[in-house]
Chain A
């Protein structure tokens, strides 16, 4: 059993309204907000999807959480 730790993906959970509100709260535009990670790239649903498939194929990996957030060192799992 494995998990994916995703952050800041446009979806039903992070709606357009929430994106607008959070970008405003950080005083940045939306593109900057969505690229607000170490790789400076927006993380899309397909990146999360590919991670699910990769974990499914990793037959000797269990109890693992893979992070898909473009790099957010302040929120890194310990």
Chain B
């Protein structure tokens, strides 16, 4: 169930921080409930969903004009600020409704050129949908519960059962002008509705003020949550997970198998593995192969996870690198065939994206998010976990049947959706997993920072727990590490294994850990000299051997 997190004191504090201007104080409440929605991953995650408010603003001449404040691209609801909800003039947006057709590029252009602040980020692609609903505050989520409902074959009957006529259904249409008009027409045909269910997509609710709209979001979502909970099956008991060594080997083999489909100048992916109870229980299902072919819980997800996960069965895992490579080859073949089937509709205008997976379901191991860097992998894994919950609930209530292949392709290769990924020249060290031993020390941390600044993913090894925690905090972002005394036998190999477990592989080893021990040659104790060799020589050799083993297994690195 979703908690309603509104607190009068917090709302008042947000308003006071915004100052005395009434417009700023009103916008502060729009920011407040946007953040409340954004703080719950079961409502929205990673840029999904959007919020708006229809207010007034004064232009440069002092005239009061109607504007809509709408989430701008590149902002996450969880951390949104007033600048992330730029004002767009309402009148030109409303006039667009007279048109029969409007291309995406023209729509973006009209939205962009009617920003009050021309330096503001692009208004959401769903701006018109918000504008055409007559309510002052409009909120839109991809709540897990609603995704389960929205992808049921009998979605209409189920929605009526839960909501009566409080929610109106909008059949699936890709976000943009056509969906905005359809949603508005649907509402106008159902003026008693408190919200909309967009089939295969998500939920809209609204209200005259920030709190009432947010309350509806929570109330509606929880109505679906309890309906699903009543029908949710008992979780399957997971069988034994792979032991640690087998796990590392499987991840490296998977990374290597993907790497085999990349050219030398294309970076390897980074992994984020999830193996919590829910994931392991899901992977015990006997319909995994079928569910893997269904698609994504909401179209937005295709950009992060592709349309389908790679499935590695128990046999694949047991078959080692060869079997895993074969499975990846199969994925690449299938993806390329999907592209070849769908791309002709665009007459050669589309270039195929990388055909390798961004999500994997691995028997006995878990769910693996696969991305260009650790952050992308984390996002893919978060969405992958949510999708499993949505599939579980949907299948228990009639079935999980999201948008089909051609709609999926339209979304995946949509220029506006591609823009959400913020393409530009990629950082030089992106995709490289870099281990720094002695990573919490002066040179180690400086080295880690230098690599991180170029986009690398860092794994720090140090013997000092608190120094390591501080170092990782200084690095920020999605980096990792482990505390270990590398002079103890076997620990270098364990550290490398921990790195593989965390990120899927290793590309660069900076063997930096060391210390200077001094003494007179005549009286130097034997233990001191041996300790110096253990730290400054033998541990480096052990790290090198463990690293080389990974480089060989993944087919790249060093």
Residues of A within 8 A of B (CB): 1, 6, 9-14, 18, 44-46, 48-50, 52-53, 56-57
Q: Is the CB of B515 within 8 A of A48?
A: no
Contacts of A12 in B (CB 8 A): 438, 441-442, 515
* Interface of chain B, main secondary structure: mixed
Tell me the minimal C-beta distance from A34 to chain B in angstroms: 13
Q: Is the CB of B508 within 8 A of A56?
A: yes
Nearest B-chain residue to A68, judged by Cβ: B443
Closest 9 CB pairs of A and B: A45-B446, A49-B450, A11-B442, A49-B446, A49-B447, A45-B442, A12-B441, A45-B443, A53-B450
Known contacts A52-B447, A56-B429: A9-B558 contact under CB 8 Å: no
Of residues B428, B432, B447, which shows the largest number of chain A Cβ atoms within 10 Å of its Cβ? B447
Return 9 A-B CB contacts under 8 Å, by A number: A1-B558, A9-B442, A11-B442, A12-B441, A13-B515, A13-B516, A14-B516, A49-B446, A52-B451
Known contacts A1-B544, A13-B514, A14-B516: A53-B443 contact under CB 8 Å: no
Contacts of A50 in B (CB 8 A): 450
Q: Is the CB of B544 within 8 A of A11?
A: no
> How many angstroms from the CA of A1 to the CA of B432 in the assembled complex?
16
CB < 8 Å: which of B428, B438, B442, B454 contacts A10? B442
Q: Is the CB of A56 within 8 A of B451?
A: yes
Tell me the minimal C-beta distance from A72 to chain B in angstroms: 17
What string of 1s and 0s marks CB contacts (under 8 Å) between B432-469 and chain A?
10100010011101111111001000000000000000
Q: Is the CB of A52 within 8 A of B558?
A: no
Contacts of B508 in A (CB 8 A): 56
Known contacts A53-B429, A56-B451: A48-B516 contact under CB 8 Å: no
Contacts of B434 in A (CB 8 A): 56
> How many angstroms from the CA of A14 to the CA of B508 in the assembled complex?
25
> How many angstroms from the CA of A48 to the CA of B428 in the assembled complex?
18
What string of 1s and 0s marks CB contacts (under 8 Å) between B499-526 and chain A?
0000000001010001110000000000
Q: Is the CB of B451 within 8 A of A9?
A: no
Question: By the criterion of a CB under 8 Å from any partner CB, how many residues of chain B are at the interface?
Answer: 23
> How many angstroms from the CA of A50 to the CA of B451 in the assembled complex?
8
Nearest B-chain residue to A45, judged by Cβ: B446
> How many angstroms from the CA of A59 to the CA of B450 in the assembled complex?
18
Contacts of B441 in A (CB 8 A): 11-13
Tell me the minimal C-beta distance from B61 to chain A in angstroms: 52
Number of A-B contacts (CB under 8 A): 55
CB < 8 Å: which of A6, A18, A56 contacts B443? A6
> How many angstroms from the CA of A57 to the CA of B428 in the assembled complex?
8
Nearest B-chain residue to A54, judged by Cβ: B450
Contacts of B544 in A (CB 8 A): 1
B:506-558 near A, CB below 8 Å? 508, 510, 514-516, 544, 558
Q: Is the CB of A9 within 8 A of B429?
A: no
Q: Is the CB of A46 within 8 A of B516?
A: no
Tell me the minimal C-beta distance from B448 to chain A in angstroms: 8
Q: Is the CB of A46 within 8 A of B446?
A: yes
Contacts of A44 in B (CB 8 A): 446
Contacts of B445 in A (CB 8 A): 45
> How many angstroms from the CA of A6 to the CA of B448 in the assembled complex?
16
> How many angstroms from the CA of A10 to the CA of B516 in the assembled complex?
13
Contacts of A57 in B (CB 8 A): 428-429
Contacts of B450 in A (CB 8 A): 46, 49-50, 52-53
Known contacts A9-B442, A11-B442, A11-B443: A53-B451 contact under CB 8 Å: yes
Contacts beyond the supplied A11-B441, A44-B446, A49-B450: 13 A-B pairs with Cβ under 8 Å: A10-B442, A11-B442, A12-B442, A14-B516, A45-B442, A45-B445, A49-B447, A49-B451, A50-B450, A53-B447, A53-B450, A56-B432, A56-B434
Nearest A-chain residue to B440, judged by Cβ: A12
> How many angstroms from the CA of A6 to the CA of B510 in the assembled complex?
14
Q: Is the CB of A48 within 8 A of B514?
A: no
B:324-354 near A, CB below 8 Å? none
Nearest B-chain residue to A6, judged by Cβ: B443
> How many angstroms from the CA of A52 to the CA of B558 in the assembled complex?
13
Contacts of A45 in B (CB 8 A): 442-443, 445-447
Tell me the minimal C-beta distance from A42 to chain B in angstroms: 13
Contacts of B454 in A (CB 8 A): 53
> How many angstroms from the CA of A52 to the CA of B458 in the assembled complex?
14
Nearest A-chain residue to B448, judged by Cβ: A49
> How many angstroms from the CA of A2 to the CA of B245 in the assembled complex?
28
Tell me the minimal C-beta distance from B541 to chain A in angstroms: 12
> How many angstroms from the CA of A46 to the CA of B443 in the assembled complex?
7
Q: Is the CB of B429 within 8 A of A49?
A: no
Nearest B-chain residue to A46, judged by Cβ: B446
Tell me the minimal C-beta distance from B441 to chain A in angstroms: 5
> How many angstroms from the CA of A14 to the CA of B442 in the assembled complex?
10
Nearest A-chain residue to B518, judged by Cβ: A18
> How many angstroms from the CA of A76 to the CA of B337 in the assembled complex?
59
B:386-437 near A, CB below 8 Å? 428-429, 432, 434
> How many angstroms from the CA of A7 to the CA of B451 in the assembled complex?
21
> How many angstroms from the CA of A58 to the CA of B435 in the assembled complex?
18
Tell me the minimal C-beta distance from A9 to chain B in angstroms: 6
> How many angstroms from the CA of A1 to the CA of B442 in the assembled complex?
22
